[in-house]
C-alpha cells in the first residue's frame, strides 16, 4: 500500500485558538445542566451558540436532582426555558417544543401542560411559565413561590420579590385555572395587597402573606 503524499506530525497540526475555551465552557455547562441525553443537548447547545441564542444551560447544578430521580421539569430547567423564550413574550408550539427537547425533557409532560392550559399555536409565555410552576408546586401557594424564586432578581436566599404586575398575571391565571376561586375573591385579594406593594416600591414578596386566605 503506497504511503500518502502528505505526512503530518504534531507540530504541523494547527489548533484553532478558540477551541480550548469553547470546550472548557461546554464542559462546565454540561456539568451544571446534567442533561439526560448528552448528544441531544450538545446539538441544542452548539446550535444556540452558533445562532447567538440563549444557551440551554442551568445557572447552577441542582444538587437534589439526579438521573435516577429527575423525570421532568425542575426549577433550574424552567428558569432556563424562561431565559430562552420570555424575550419573545409569545412563541409557537414548535419553538417551545424545540427548546423543550433541547433540555431533554419528556414530550408527554409538555403535551400535558399544553392541554391543561388549552394552549395551541401562539403561546403566551408567561401563561406557560405559570403552568410550569404549577407542575413544580402542585398548589397555588407553592406554584407562586416557585415563580418568585425563579423570576426574582434578589440574591439567592433573599426576599425573592417580583414586580406586582407580573404577580397579578400569574396569580390570576392560576386562580382561573383552578376553577374554584370566584372572581370577586381574586379582585379583593389583589386589592388588599396594594399597601404592601406601595411600601416595597411596586414589588411583592409571596412569603409575607397567605395566598389562600379569604
> What integer best gives the mean pLDDT of the chain?
89
Three-state secondary-structure class, residue 124: strand
What is the predicted pLDDT for the residue at 214? 41
Q: Which three cell numbers stand for residue 165?
A: 404586575
The secondary structure element, H or E, covering residue 134 is helix 125-137
The pLDDT > 70 percentage for the chain reads: 87
**Is 35:104 a contact under the CB 8 Å cutoff?**
yes
Report the pLDDT averaged over residues 160-189. 92
Amino acid at each position: 500500500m503506497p504511503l500518502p503524499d502528505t505526512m503530518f506530525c504534531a507540530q504541523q497540526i494547527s489548533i484553532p485558538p478558540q477551541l480550548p475555551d469553547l470546550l472548557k465552557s461546554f464542559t462546565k455547562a454540561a456539568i451544571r445542566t446534567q442533561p439526560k441525553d448528552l448528544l441531544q443537548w450538545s446539538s441544542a447547545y452548539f446550535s444556540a451558540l452558533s445562532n447567538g441564542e440563549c444557551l440551554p444551560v442551568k445557572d447552577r447544578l441542582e444538587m437534589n436532582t439526579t438521573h435516577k430521580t429527575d423525570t421532568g421539569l425542575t426549577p433550574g430547567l424552567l428558569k432556563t426555558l424562561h431565559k430562552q423564550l420570555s424575550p419573545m413574550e409569545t412563541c409557537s408550539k414548535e419553538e417551545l417544543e424545540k427548546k423543550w427537547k433541547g433540555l431533554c425533557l419528556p414530550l408527554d409532560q409538555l403535551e400535558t401542560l399544553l392541554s391543561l392550559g388549552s394552549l395551541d399555536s401562539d403561546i403566551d409565555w408567561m401563561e406557560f411559565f405559570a403552568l410550569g410552576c404549577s407542575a413544580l408546586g402542585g398548589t397555588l401557594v407553592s406554584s407562586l413561590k416557585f415563580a418568585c424564586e425563579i423570576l426574582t432578581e434578589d440574591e439567592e436566599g433573599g426576599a425573592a420579590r417580583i414586580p406586582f404586575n407580573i404577580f397579578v398575571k400569574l396569580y390570576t391565571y392560576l386562580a382561573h385555572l383552578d376553577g374554584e376561586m370566584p372572581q370577586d375573591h381574586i379582585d379583593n385579594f389583589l386589592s388588599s395587597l396594594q399597601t404592601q406593594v406601595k411600601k416595597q416600591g411596586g414589588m411583592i414578596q409571596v412569603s409575607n402573606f397567605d395566598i389562600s386566605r379569604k
